Amino acid sequence: MSSSGELFRFFLVVLVLLALMQGVAGWTVQNMSITPGQGSISPQTPVTVTYTVHFDAWLTGLTFQSKNTLDMYTDLLNAHWVVTITDIDEDHPPLTSPLVENKGSRVRIDGWTLSYAGKQIELNVRLQGVAPDVNQSQDKTIIRVQEWNANGQPVSGTGMEKKYQIYVPTPTPEPTTPAPTETPTDSVRNLNTPVTSVTPTRKQTYTPGPEPLVICGMLAILLIIIAMKRKT
């Protein structure tokens, strides 16, 4: 096989690989740090996220596709983003300059800002917010970084996401105190016990006898009758 034929095949393979790599991201998320660390967190817990998005043109020829967009999103409340960009040059010290400071759930950076040929750049991102209020324990997105194409669709093979569980304890039902049983004050008659009827005792009445004057009068009349009989 001639050397020219091998060289042709080599360049053909390179062209195919370059064609396949057009949709491959030239960026990675590095040095991710989330405070508090991984694990369940409670609603309204302050959260701080820092990370670097590194762009390198060696793989695709460009640090980022100029027509695409880098989208960064969070479910944190009161989110505050601070983004700086660093130009990495092997022959000079890195140069960092402010890029975006924004409040809200997401930050989008257009491809024109990130697209460089034959260079390396980095985005330095600091995100602060609080865990959202939820009615029950569930997972929420702390940070998601995704590349979107010109049609607003996620680019396949790109993106990273970190989720935390927002923990809400299940309320423990309070023990109920049983209502006190009312004890009837009236006695309950036993149906098997015979009932004795009590006949009321008749009240004693006093009948007075003859008055003393009447008795004395009768005695006097009797004495008079006896005296008259003796005279006769």
Mean pLDDT, the chain cut into blocks of 10 residues (232 residues total):
58 45 70 91 96 91 94 98 94 93 97 94 98 95 97 92 92 69 51 50 47 64 74 63
Task: Report helix, strand and coil shares of the chain as percent, to nearest 5.
Answer: 20, 40, 45
pLDDT on residue 207: 46
Whether 11 is covered by a domain: the verdict is no
Whether 9 is covered by a domain: the verdict is no
Other CB atoms within 10 Å distance of the CB of residue 128: 17
Strand partners, 110: 69
3 state SS for 103-140:
ECCEEEEEHHHHCCECCEEEEEEEEEEECCCCCCCEEE
Whether 182 is covered by a domain: the verdict is no
pLDDT on residue 203: 44
What domain range is 32 assigned to?
24-166
Short-list 111, 165, 103, 110, CA closest to 138:
165
Angstrom distance (rounded) from CA 111 to CA 142: 24
Domain total of the chain: 1
Whether 184 is covered by a domain: the verdict is no
Angstrom distance (rounded) from CA 104 to CA 75: 10
Whether 203 is covered by a domain: the verdict is no
Angstrom distance (rounded) from CA 154 to CA 147: 6
pLDDT on residue 39: 81
Angstrom distance (rounded) from CA 178 to CA 176: 6
Whether 229 is covered by a domain: the verdict is no
What is residue 141's three-state secondary structure? strand
Query: What single-letter amino acid sits at 67?
Result: K
pTM tops 0.85, yes or no: no
Whether 200 is covered by a domain: the verdict is no
What is residue 18's three-state secondary structure? helix
pLDDT on residue 212: 58
Whether 54 is covered by a domain: the verdict is yes
pLDDT on residue 204: 45
Task: Using the Cα atoms of residue 96, residue 100, residue 104 and residue 109 in order, give the sign of their dihedral.
Answer: negative
Angstrom distance (rounded) from CA 127 to CA 83: 9
Q: Are 41 and 47 in contact (CB under 8 A)?
A: yes
Check which CATH number belongs to the domain holding 144 and give it.
2.60.40
Residue burial 191-225, b: 16+ Cβ < 10 Å; e: rest = eeeeeeeeeeeeeeeeeeeeeeeeeeeeeeeeeee
